[in-house]
Amino acid sequence: MMAGEMSLCSWVSVGMCAVVALAVAGWSEANGTVVVTPEEIDDVLVNPGMGWTTFHRFNSDHSPEEYPDTSIAYFRWYWDVLEPEEGKYNFEVVDKTIEQARENGQKLAFRIMTCNGTPKVPQWYIDAGAPGEEFNDGKSWKPDYGAPIYLEKQAQIIAAFGERYDGHPDIDHVDIGSMGRWGEWHTGMPSVEVQKQIVDMYLEAFTKTPLVMLIAPAEALPYAVEHGAGWRADCLGDMRENWCHMDWYPTQLEKVGIEDCWKTARVVFETCWTMQHWQEQGWDIDEIFERALKMHPSAVNNKSSAVPEEWWPQVNEFSKKMGYRLVLRRLEHPASVRAGGELELRMQWENLGVAPCYDPYPLAFELCTDEGPACRMTTEVDLTKWLPGEHAASATVEVPADLPAGKYTLRLGFVDPNSDQPALKLAIAGRDEEGWYALSEVAVGR
């Protein structure tokens, strides 16, 4: 692959054409150095851990004209579904959902709930004499969240689900639920000490899978964040005149001191009603999205409700800013290296999104021939530290001593540790069918 044949990115050898390289990239002259300046693209990118989510549905349940393609399928289940008999857990419903999500190119996010407008607490729990009270005009029953039996049984189910699903490669994150109507941490909250006990149950059960917690509880929320959880909010877009969530959210973040939580943990939104409701109310979609981006969201659940046709341009632009969006601005490396020697790589990256990628995906390079990859070289570059803005990165990788002499195509990708395959789409041209980005040529000598 020669320079004149590369239409998807620009690369030049300083040794062959020093003046052109300096003019393009502004580096000082260094004979035998290759400079790569990839072409940026403007596509909407669907990447792990970010973007829109489906809700109790999957990508295949929507047409592209109705709803954005997503990487997360969000589900929440009530206690009576997950533990219909005491001590007998319905893992099958979760396993089946994970399988369906995987078939749709999605990961699962979920919440455990114990209360709603109709009875959702298991009957066996009520029959055991557990304390609680009727509410909602006698149509439902709310458990006493501070009762020892409630804390005991919640600890058991959370531990059981953590044992089975913590660190599962097909689970994106878990909500800290179990408290309040719909697991939203309201209606009859117990003491702060009890709230923290529930948080601790999740922290102990899910040490690998990311956790998020509702923004509402002013005392327990900073405790959860302090121990690594992100936060979620369930009423994005509420713009009512007298009082609205979009005004309250920034105030609450400041009040509890977690404005910078997004730098290390996820921020997840759910729309208040749906975008169709926003449109019916005459609310400003541009203002809603502008306010949302200031809170650095990674994912938004629009309840699988169709996007209003005329709002697709705004939705697409919002999609390009939500979460992370990585652009390789420049790559520099020697034009040649000896087998068994070291290849030095210097890079300039930019994150055009509003949040980092919170999951570690190692940056790997491969040297390839027409027959396929000849070797892989994995770096220690940590993309989880890449907040919005520019980032310099460098790596020195060892070229295998037994690699035959010749010219090789150099390609890169952020690799999923579980599948060992490229996982992230970059905002640059040149992605091949396997997810790699071919960038330049390296001559290997003996």
Across 260-298, b (16+ Cβ under 10 Å) vs e yields ebbeebbbbbbbbbbbbebeeeebebeebbebbeebbbb
* Average pLDDT value for the chain: 92
**Whether the model pTM is above 0.75:** yes
246 pLDDT higher than 70: yes
User: What confidence score (pLDDT) does residue 137 get?
Assistant: 73
Share of the chain above pLDDT 90, in %: 85
Lowest-pLDDT range of 178-187, 272-281, 355-364, 401-410: 178-187
User: What confidence score (pLDDT) does residue 11 get?
Assistant: 52
For 271-298, what is each residue's pLDDT tens digit? 999 999 999 999 999 999 999 999 999 9
Mean pLDDT throughout 316-327? 98
Mean pLDDT throughout 38-63? 97
Structural domains present in the chain? 3-43+326-445 (2.60.40.770), 51-321 (3.20.20.80)
Mean pLDDT throughout 402-409? 96
User: What confidence score (pLDDT) does residue 5 get?
Assistant: 35
Q: Looking at per-residue confidence, does 30 or 354 come out higher?
A: 354
77 pLDDT higher than 50: yes
196 pLDDT higher than 50: yes
User: What confidence score (pLDDT) does residue 142 get?
Assistant: 87
For 97-128, what is each residue's pLDDT tens digit? 999 999 999 999 999 999 887 778 999 999 99
